[in-house]
Amino acid sequence: MTFTVKVFQRCLLLQLPQKRVCTRNMSEVANEVLFDVKRKGGFMTLNRPKALNALNANMVGLITHKLCEWEKCLSFVVVKGTGRAFCAGGDIVNVTKGGPQCTHEGEHFFKTEYALNYRISKLSIPYIAIIDGITMGGGVGLSVHGRYRIATENTLFAMPETQIGLFPDVGGSYFLSRLGPLGMYLALTGHRLQGIDVAKAGVATHFIESSKLPEFLNDIENNATDDNCEEIINKHSKCLKSHDFSLSTKMGLINSAFSLATLEEMLEELKHDGSEWSLNTVKSLNKMSPTSLKISVRELREGKNKSLKECLQMEYRLAVAALKAKVSNDFYEGVRALLVDKDKKPVWNPPNIGAINDYILDLAFDNLPCPDDELQLP
């Protein structure tokens, strides 16, 4: 697998709560996202560089409130990150700290995060995400649902949730399913895309070299309105036609294997091909949570025919099932193995895909017991 555990582990380790968090003052909390208004635009900057701008509940609340305010009086929004990351994901260590017996905090985080993802998708003014750096998980949710996503040569995109016993969330069942077999491949393997590949794959809408971002931002700040943002972005963007996609030589295999209906069929197709790339992909998939893989396949298959709203509501049910260990304890085991004990030897349960039948999957996808507990979106 191209996506390395080392990169993902570093991104997540930097999300671990530090002792100093307990003594943070109100100013520190407020400054986790910086907000500025310049002429007709609102500019927000994720400002937790030491944590690779990992998204926490406070940041979700700040961003949600500000978007509601700005939509009424401004013409566009620009969001970017401080340091070498746009946003490395959500604060999953904090989300799982209560264990299956105490899931309130985790449920609240996922519910408000997914509601923010939906809010971004429905924003009536242009939303421009500059994903100049690491963009994973929650960071993808903060960007991919906006009207414009600008990648640079520094962009590192991945949805690596199956490594920790979770599933591609933040609307992953919606946008990954619309990338076809490539989306399924990215969802299951956590393969990372870099630089211009992020735009070639369709995750980003534009590509601008990082050295030209100051000029672009100055142009946006001084000249943009609600109806000319795309014109300005296009003026500064690089043409993609002359650049080859790094996976172009593998797309035949990706299309043939990851278009199949079941995980078992995908693995069999890869084994039948027998190439080094295919066998390495099988080896990588065998390291992932079997439950996560099976859930992810069904999630994307169902998401292809759902609206974003319906996808996020489905994902919230799956998130609650993961938090409550309804069908498996793999979410907690994955976090333990990768982040807490760091032995990188998760003991998945069930241990293989053959032990996971449709009845088990149905439990994860079931509606929540109380309708009021479902993710309510307008």
Query: According to the model, what pLDDT value does residue 173 have?
Result: 99
Q: Where are the domains of the chain?
A: 5-373
Is residue 303 part of the annotated active site? The answer reads no
Is residue 90 part of the annotated active site? The answer reads yes
- Selecting among 169, 197, 315, 333, the annotated active-site residue is 169
* pLDDT tens, N- to C-terminus, the chain (378 residues): 443 445 555 555 444 444 344 455 666 787 999 999 999 999 999 999 999 999 999 999 999 999 999 999 999 999 999 999 999 999 898 899 999 999 999 999 999 999 999 999 999 999 999 999 999 999 999 999 999 999 999 999 999 999 999 999 999 999 999 999 999 999 999 999 999 999 999 999 999 999 999 999 999 999 999 999 999 999 999 998 889 999 999 999 999 999 999 999 999 999 999 999 999 999 999 999 999 999 999 999 999 999 999 999 999 999 999 999 999 999 999 999 997 888 999 999 999 999 999 999 999 999 999 999 999 999
d(CA 37, CA 71): 12
Number of residues in the chain: 378
Between the two ends of the chain, the Cα-to-Cα distance in Å is 39
Backbone angles phi, psi at 211, to 5 degrees: -65, -20
d(CA 78, CA 126): 8
Q: Are 303 and 159 in contact (CB under 8 A)?
A: no
In this structure, which topology does domain 5-373 adopt according to CATH? 2-enoyl-CoA Hydratase; Chain A, domain 1 (3.90.226)
Structure tokens at 196: 């211009």
Query: According to the model, what pLDDT value does residue 59 have?
Result: 98
Is residue 169 part of the annotated active site? The answer reads yes
Q: What is the pLDDT of residues 41-76, one digit of tens each?
A: 999 999 999 999 999 999 999 999 999 999 999 999
- Angle formed by the axes of helices 290-303 and 181-189, nearest 10°: 150
- Selecting among 107, 113, 132, 161, the annotated active-site residue is 161
- Selecting among 90, 137, 171, 195, the annotated active-site residue is 90
**Which helix (H) or strand (E) is 278 found in, with range?**
helix 276-285
Q: Which residues have C-beta within 8 Å of that of residue 234, sequence separation ≥ 6?
A: 206
Q: Are 357 and 376 in contact (CB under 8 A)?
A: no
Q: Are 152 and 208 in contact (CB under 8 A)?
A: yes
Query: 43: helix, coil or strand?
Result: strand
Query: 315: helix, coil or strand?
Result: helix
Is residue 81 part of the annotated active site? The answer reads no
Long-range pairs for 213-221: beta carbons < 8 A, 24 or more residues apart: 213/130, 213/132, 213/152, 217/78, 220/41, 220/76, 220/78, 220/128, 221/38, 221/39, 221/41, 221/43
- Selecting among 42, 81, 106, 138, the annotated active-site residue is 138
Cα–chain center distance at 378: 22
Residue closest to 2 by CA, chosen among 157, 151, 196, 132: 157
d(CA 103, CA 156): 31
Backbone angles phi, psi at 195, to 5 degrees: 55, -130
Query: According to the model, what pLDDT value does residue 370 have?
Result: 96
Query: 124: helix, coil or strand?
Result: coil
